[in-house]
Copies of this chain bind each other. A is one copy, B any other.
Amino acid sequence: MKPRVGIADVAREADVSTGTVSNVFNRPEIVAVHTRNRVLSAIERLGYVRSENARVLRGQPSRIIAVLVHDLTNPYCMTLVQGAEEAARAAGLAVMVYTSPRNTAEEARCLALLTEHEIRGVLITPADTSDDFMAALPRSGIPCVLMDHDARPGRPRVCSVAIDDVTGGRLAVQHLLAAGHRSVGFISGPPHLPQVARRRAGALEAVAHAGLPATALRELDCPAMTVAAGRSAGRRLLNVTNRPTALFCAHDLLALGVLHELNEAGLRVPSDVALVGCDDSAYASSASVPLTSLQRPGRMVGATAVRLLEAETSLPDGEHDHVQVVLTPELAVRRSTAARDAHSSLQHRL
């Protein structure tokens, strides 16, 4: 292990002082061209690399941001991480990943890790359980941006990037209503999830706006966002009187389960039932009938969060107004809601 080559070695090699070498990096404009070139070639020759640790020890801002997500294998979470990583890389920042702490002990360990490394800031998708953690973060002085979650309406103490799920729900149901459906089922996920609640609100808005009674939206609860739960919902659906001709599912996996079950019962998508999923995960496009799906711009959320964090941390303390960004989802239209053919149109008219 060769001893690390430092700024002093470069200085000696280039026959200048350490201060000048430092200036070559930090204020290139104030050092004479020929001196600078001498220094640069010395750096090259010696293969010198700066020590980030010494930099931040000396008080420079850290170049590391942390991303906390619930589950690294969740495709949506990964789009957040991906967006963050891309934006961070472009900004010369490194990304540390961490799965959100699930109990007080983990919270302490996590907080220790973040503070000990003097992280630049944290991007986090808060869980319902982590309210105390969310409170501890600002107390520790670590800047923090919320992802996929709008800050408390009152006075925002942090920045956030959310997705407008109300609009999302509205888009999905409007699309179905525009195709002529008059009865839409909403296959919901766990009811306590705020995202789901907002999609429902949007769905109701669309129904109301079309002049239909609220009962035109029929709800079917699901305990979880899984294929199995979707299958079970699909089975229940088969026995429903006056079955809806279109379904909006709170997640692609639910839609997938429903799709399988409908197919097995001999019903066709989209001719018998139209189907809209949510999240536009790879599942949607790879389903046996490609699913129309509400596309939630996770990558953009991650990237925007990085930018907000950068903005916040490059300003002196207190001079930053916390800002809440809301991104709008789009509907990726695919075969599962294709216009119904003549036969089923006729059927509909009867």
**A residues at B contact (CB < 8 Å):** 1-2, 49-54, 56-57, 63-64, 72-73, 75, 78-79, 81-82, 85-86, 89, 92, 94-99, 109, 112-113, 115-118, 141, 227, 253, 256-257, 259-260, 263, 282-283, 285-286, 288, 317
Contacts and interface: CB of A to CB of B under 8 A. Distances in A.
A94 B113 contact: yes
Given A260-B288, A283-B286, A85 B57 contact: no
Of A1, A97, A98, A253, most B-chain CB atoms within 10 Å: A97
B78 A73 contact: yes
B96 A96 contact: yes
A54 B52 contact: no
A190 B130 CA distance: 45
Of A1, A113, A253, most B-chain CB atoms within 10 Å: A113
Nearest to A80: B72
Contacts of A56: 53
Contact of A52 (B81, B117, B256): B117
Of A79, A117, A118, most B-chain CB atoms within 10 Å: A117
Nearest to A316: B1
A2 B2 CA distance: 39
A44 B85 CA distance: 35
B97 A97 contact: yes
A274 to B, nearest CB: 18
Shortest 4 CB-CB distances between A and B: which pairs?
A227-B286, A53-B53, A72-B82, A52-B116
Given A52-B117, A53-B54, 11 more contacts: A49-B116, A52-B53, A53-B57, A54-B57, A63-B117, A72-B81, A72-B82, A78-B78, A85-B97, A89-B109, A97-B97
